[in-house]
Amino acid sequence: MKILLMLVMAFSVNTYAQTLEKRIGQMLMVGFHGTSATPNTQICKDIKKYNLGAVILFDYNPVNKNKPKNIATKAQLKKLTSQLQACSNDGKLLIAVDQEGGKVQRLKSKYGFYGKFPKASDVIKMNQSKIKSTYTKMSKELKSVGINYDLAPVVDLDINMKNHVIHGLGRSFGKEPKLVASYASTFIDAMHTHGVLTSLKHFPGHGSSVGDTHKGFVDVTNLWQEKELEPYRLLNHKADTVMVAHVFNKRIDAKYPATLSAKTVDGLLRQKLGFHGVVITDDLQMGAISQKYGLKKTLNLAIGAGNDILLIGNQLDPKKVKTSKKLVDTIVTLVKEGKVSQSRIEASYARLQKLKARL
């Protein structure tokens, strides 16, 4: 009897550990190197073993500029996404790219795609029906190669002419919150016509910044304006997901940048602005975070802040690739140490399942 009880307990502990790993896996969006995902590839094994929720694809290869990272041709990409879905448990793996138009479009002409989608600052010069058809064409192209999650539209306000990341690249629809929300709404509707999910970015506003969070710490305290929150308030029931930026704003949180701040994510975005959907971090390997925080601290704060998807692009520094195993093991340790609560993981899991039900 005693042996049987011990076996049952061991089985329960083991099952709990596996369930926890799979819940955590759903919260991860990882980047990987490779143009295929056959069953023997590491990414396929990781999706299966850890129940990874999402992957992010890039065309530029930081390790070898002469080879594509994930995107080489239309046919290849379609095959890759279909292989990735086959690795997943539910066939609802979130497969994401950054496809805004202008400088930020991963599906380029040289790979056989249209590749000439206009940047936001040019889109606003078109009439409404042209805008709608442009973004519908974009969503159709994404869907045709199996991409179901577009990390766009940008709802940052164009309020700082010295800003290279938003203003300089023409990524904003303008400086008036209502207009920006209206263009973003058209973008979201167009994506939904072909079943592509979207993400408003970069909360709580990157349009006022001067620096680039890819490169390091960016403080927007003195430049940020309250109206930068308005597009999120206006779209809070329409947005599929919201991406949080790494900007630091003492007026919101005097200690942590937005992505790692419970005051920003749980306090401002969820409680004050009423957004109850999935929240995704910007890439946690960007300089603004990685130069200041270690991996364990980053994951601890990001989950504690209320983020549901933790984005690790494995794109910015080839020497600092983080494996899925390392990410899952680190979060399991945080749970065991009582630093991350099981209920936080469960809440994210529930929100993610609700999001995926729309696919």
**Residue among 98, 189, 214, 266 flagged as catalytic:** 214
Beta-bridge partner residues of 99: 105
Q: Alpha carbon of 155 to those of 110, 202, 325: distances in Å? A: 28, 7, 34
282 carries an active-site annotation? yes
Helix residue spans in the chain (DSSP H): 2-26, 42-50, 74-87, 120-123, 128-144, 177-192, 230-234, 262, 287-290, 295-305, 324-336, 342-356
Determine the number of helices (DSSP H) and then strands (DSSP E) in the chain: 12, 10
Which positions ≥6 away from 138 have C-beta within 8 Å?
99, 101, 114, 117, 150, 190, 191
Work out the burial of residue 1: count CB atoms within 10 Å of its CB; fewer than 13 is exposed, 13-18 middle, 19 or more buried. Answer: exposed
**AA letter at 264:** T
**Residue among 46, 156, 253, 282 flagged as catalytic:** 282
- Rounded to whole angstroms, the Cα distance separating 195 from 174 reads 27
> The tokens 């709580």 sit on which residue?
204
**Which two three-digit tokens encode residue 171?**
């990524």
Q: Alpha carbon of 120 to those of 123, 134, 282, 359: distances in Å? A: 5, 11, 20, 26
- Rounded to whole angstroms, the Cα distance separating 279 from 266 reads 10
237 carries an active-site annotation? no
- Rounded to whole angstroms, the Cα distance separating 74 from 145 reads 7
Nearest CA-CA partner of 243 in 213, 210, 219, 287 = 213
Which residues are identified as catalytic? 214, 282
